[in-house]
Chain A
Amino acid sequence: MADFPILSVMMLVPLLAAVACLLVEAKAARQIALVATLIDLALGILLWVNYDIGGAQWQFQENVPLFAGFSWALGIDGIALMLIMLSVFLMPICILASAAIEKRVGEYMAAFLLMETLMIGVFAAQDLFLFYIMFEAGLIPMYLIIGIWGGADRIYASYKFFLYTLIGSVLMLIAMLWMVNEAGTTDIPTLMEYNFAPEVQTWLWLAFFASFAVKMPMWPVHTWLPDAHVQAPTAGSVILAGVLLKMGGYGFIRFSLPMFPEASAQFAWLVFALSMVAVVYTSLVALVQNDMKKLIAYSSVAHMAIVTIGLFAFNPQGLEGAMVVMLSHGLVSGALFLCVGVIYDRLHTREIDRYGGLSINMPYYALFFMLFTMASIGLPGTSGFVGEFLSLAGIYQVSSWVALVCTTGIILGAAYMLYLYRRVAFGEQKNADAAAMPDLNRREWFLMAPIAAVVLWMGVYPESFLAPMRADIAVLDARIARAKPASDAQLTAGKPKPATATEHAAHGEAH
């Protein structure tokens, strides 16, 4: 493994397949895309197996200087590994979920494959500008997917998507240029240990925040997400929710926190305030939606708020919790969008009221939908719980107010998800066409079952996912410890009453 440039290969495979897809007709394009993404999944598993937990912080490093200090520098730590795994795991499922696409199939597959290359690039890049290119370019295929293969209002949605992300990224680019000039390097690991002056950090942090907050998305720059999701084809929604939203969180954990710890602490109140608003606000908005995809999109905003509070809790529970929420949300909301896609393919509507009583004619579908609903609600035993619990446990150590407000998400989340489930799967079969829909076919089983298995795995034995990240989280925790905010608990020591203590002891002996 030592000299095999596995990360480059993982980026190259989908890229070549993308080119191939443009040249062949539809059926072959589907097959090429599926095979390429499966190869990448296999490579990803190889990567995970060969990742040395407890070894060097950065592994599988590659570095080819290109020009002007700009280099093809790749390498991953455990955090990046997990996000790459998420990407390569979801990709074949997305390809498989695109059976209903009939327009310009080759280009569609090429867009997805290109996106896979770029997503892996984002998480593997070790050069600041390489990261920037991947980070921004990754949006172009998404933008095309929404704009070409999307629903009726796709133009407006892709415009909104574009506008929001553009503004953020311009500011981030300026900040990056300044940083490179100041630190004299584009190497991300070096920059992660570089100490910028606190007053400069403020501006740099805000510039990065503009980009990451949009990607996250945080309230109030979230309104592009519901539209993008609603208009995107099913697989587009899966990747958007599954991986693209994770780029914001990854940005915080890779750049904002380690590079600007003081500024992060300084602005923690802002992050908390926006997150608290997001949890309550978007949950309530989710409650009144009539469009399934919009409902799940709004729930994503609420879940991402749990990520941001975890990240800015400045402790290992919060950081690890945030990472697990990201992974879990990638799986669960991806799966929920697939669930919507399954019935959308049959009835061509996302309107909740057009369904009802699906438990009767689609029992296995109802079972999977229930599992993912419960995972979204954060039922212990599913992936949703572990991250949410750790994140909230982390924030509680900083502020009980933030913890209280964000924990109300477990009530509101249950309300809107179960209300959705009730209207779709319970009740009478009031619509004849919905009642006639057949249960999952074999292809759809292949979409649902793997995600369901991982959701339960992550819920019951999350150690598999936590272990690779542990050392990196610890490094980050140590790095930001100097800026750690004070807890609002300020626990005082107990005053044990000796008399009572001995009395208890006497009782103990008497038994």
Chain B
Amino acid sequence: MDPILFIVFLPLLAAIVAGLGNRMLGNFAAKLVTTGALFASCLLSWPIFLAFMGGTAEAHVVPVLQWVQSGSLSFDWALRVDTLTAVMLVVITTVSALVHLYSWGYMDEDPDQPRFFAYLSLFTFAMLMLVTADNLVQMFFGWEGVGLASYLLIGFWFRKPSASAAAIKAFVVNRVGDLGFMLGIFGTFLVFNTVSIPEILAAAPGMEGSTIGFLGYRWDTMTILCILLFIGAMGKSAQLGLHTWLPDAMEGPTPVSALIHAATMVTAGVFMVCRLSPMFEASPIALDIVTYVGAATCFFAATVGLTQWDIKRVIAYSTCSQLGYMFFAAGVGAYGAAMFHLFTHAFFKALLFLGAGSVIHAMHHEQDMRYYGALRKHIPLTFWAMMAGTLAITGVGVYWLHAGFAGFHSKDAILEVAFASGKESGMFAFWVGVTAALMTSFYSWRLMFLTFFGKARWAGSEHIQHAVHDDHHGHDDHAHGHAHGDDGTAGYHPHESPLVMLVPLGVLTLGAVFAGWVFTGSFISSADFWGGSIFYNEHLMHAMHEVPLWVKLSATAVMLVGLFGAWYAYIRNPGFPAKVVAQIDVLYRFVYNKWYFDELYNFLFVRPAFWIGDKFWKLGDIGIIDRFGPNGAAWTVLQGTRLAQKVQSGYLYSYALVMLLGLTAAITWMMVR
């Protein structure tokens, strides 16, 4: 049997065992089964990836089961393995295995562990089905499957109203994107008479210049198809307009944020655009839209990230912003660069999230950075892991040595290629990208400085106070209720996380440090590596290396400016941010409140939906249809006949009578004819 079958279906099996076994099985067995399955998948995935890197593997499709055949529309369950899939396989299984392991520690006190691990494994299965899809409908299956898992995991602590609200929001907003995806699939089937991805991609270039009717207008065929599919990608990858669910998704346990809302699921949109790159290449307009949307998201999310206090929300907006980079890279035609950033981002962003989880774990579930500070000495291993993640995301590296942390290689490549594309949209994306890189550096270092440097500000935190005062809480290793010093610690002693949490941090640190440097040659500069699994623009990749030196250095320069700014505002002169905020109060509130998207959507969609639903029901159904329909008829009938004492049998008789009359009439008709 092909190893891909084990890679994909072991997590499903584990999810079923852990999920249905649940309390019968117990925590330990459930954790062991799911984590074991994921490590097995991971160990099977890396050889596939390395084989594609070494050029010894061939793209192939493993059929599993027939799914649907209806007229000329047919699609099967099948697992496609090519370079693009292999890249995703290692990302998904590696991060997922590490997150499973990490959760042994992080979820240790949770009473519902089997359920949690079952969901995690179920998610991994769905994600693997998504990336191995050979047709659009299976991709949609994975797409919705990860949506389900995301919904379940965001709402994992379902007793919290905010968690279940966030879960619904995530699912419904994603469904808005899915509306586009589904219409895109229907349109693709109408145009190409197939939903098989290789067949569509082969035929796509031939459809350039064709037009199609949609909603009463004539459109360029490939443009409208790509736009519809891209709407799906926007939902899943939280791009501007459909991003509102991602920050709220932080209600889920932190390992979930690392796996689903940073490393894997949210990158599905980028994966989709890359997988369908020959389609997008057939429509320059669609590509421009991808570029502009990506750039706008990149900028928007970075601005919001500057102002948030919740450590997870900062990282969530950062994710949103980084996804914008990936999209505009794809939009200018550099799918390899987009995938490369996806790859490196998965490692360093998972690292940042798991690091944040370790901080939260140490700080007794306090997530507000205003109550952190000075943690460097207390949780040094977490600090160094977070440092590696920060160096990676801000893109620290030395151009002349061609060496740096992961983000240095991937983000710089994206900026260079945007510049090199020579398109108007590319230039726009370049400047926006540079600006966002400045903000990325600022908010990332702000996070580091607020959390690990300066003075301890823990005393203000309710969580910490609670931990300190509650003797019976069982957190003896965290808290000792002795003297309240004036040092801001409130007498609280944060402790480093257990080994099961530190090992994943360590492995991901390696990824954040080396993933860029090791793989840049393959991802960026090698058409052979991709082996036709994405559209590879050789011309653009050459142009990328020819950009002026100032372009190549711009990312590093703004990174240093951001670092300096954060250092000045949060270490050198801590009163400075408040002064700035006071100066730009209106702008600050606009950004701090996430540009008021939630308020706007509530006003435009949510509240009207309930209001209209209520009116349809009470005015439409009851007030009009029932009143003039059955009730009106009843009134008329009752005026004539007041016989029905036992109403049900009364109607029964009249009913039977009408039937009998009808039949008599029918038979009479037959006989006299």
Contacts and interface: CB of A to CB of B under 8 A. Distances in A.
Interface in B111-154: 137, 140-141, 144-145, 148, 151
Contacts of A489: 187, 190, 212-214
Given A180-B670, A379-B144, A461 B65 contact: yes
A46 interface: no
Interface string B413-444: 00000000000000000000000000000000
B176 interface: yes
B671 A284 contact: no
B510 to A, nearest CB: 31
Interface stretch (A77-85, A190-198, A201-209, A490-498): A490-498
If over half of B's interface residues share one DSSP class (helix, strand or loop), that class is named, otherwise mixed; here it is helix
B538 interface: yes
B183 interface: yes
Contact of B22 (A155, A320, A363, A390): A363
Interface in B588-615: 609-610, 612-614
B67 A462 contact: yes
A415 B607 CA distance: 13
Contacts of B178: 410-411
A16 interface: no
A68 B671 CA distance: 6
A223 B210 contact: no
B70 A466 contact: yes
Nearest to B168: A418
Interface in B191-244: 191, 205-216, 221
B179 A407 contact: yes
Interface in B167-181: 167-168, 171-172, 175-176, 178-179
B626 A223 contact: yes
A401 B215 contact: yes
B670 A68 contact: yes
A504 B185 CA distance: 26
A359 B625 CA distance: 38
A411 B208 contact: no
B658 interface: yes
A284 B212 contact: no
Given A147-B648, A426-B155, A507 B71 contact: no
A419 B155 CA distance: 13
Interface stretch (B158-166, B315-323, B373-381, B396-404): B158-166
Contacts of A254: none
A2 interface: no
Contacts of B179: 404, 407-408, 410-411
Interface string A467-511: 000100000010000000001111111111100110010011011
Given A390-B73, A396-B190, A403-B186, A496 B205 contact: yes
A463 interface: yes
26 contacts: A140-B656, A155-B647, A159-B630, A284-B609, A285-B613, A285-B616, A288-B613, A288-B617, A316-B71, A363-B22, A390-B70, A392-B182, A400-B183, A410-B182, A411-B179, A414-B171, A418-B167, A426-B158, A427-B158, A428-B159, A466-B69, A489-B187, A492-B212, A493-B210, A494-B208, A504-B205
Interface of B: 19, 22-23, 65-73, 77, 137, 140-141, 144-145, 148, 151, 155, 158-159, 161, 164-165, 167-168, 171-172, 175-176, 178-179, 182-183, 185-187, 189-191, 205-216, 221, 527-528, 532, 536, 538, 609-610, 612-614, 616-617, 620-621, 625-626, 629-630, 633-634, 647-648, 651-652, 655-656, 658-659, 662-663, 665-667, 669-671, 673
Given A223-B629, A393-B185, A414-B171, 9 more contacts: A133-B663, A143-B652, A159-B647, A181-B669, A220-B625, A317-B71, A415-B168, A422-B165, A427-B158
Interface of A: 67-70, 129, 132-133, 136-137, 139-140, 143-144, 147-148, 154-155, 158-160, 162-164, 166, 169-170, 173, 176-177, 180-181, 220-221, 223-224, 226, 281, 284-289, 315-317, 320-321, 357, 359-360, 363, 367, 374, 379-381, 385-386, 389-390, 392-393, 396-397, 400-401, 403-404, 407-408, 410-412, 414-415, 418-419, 422, 425-428, 460-463, 466, 470, 477, 487-497, 500-501, 504, 507-508, 510-511
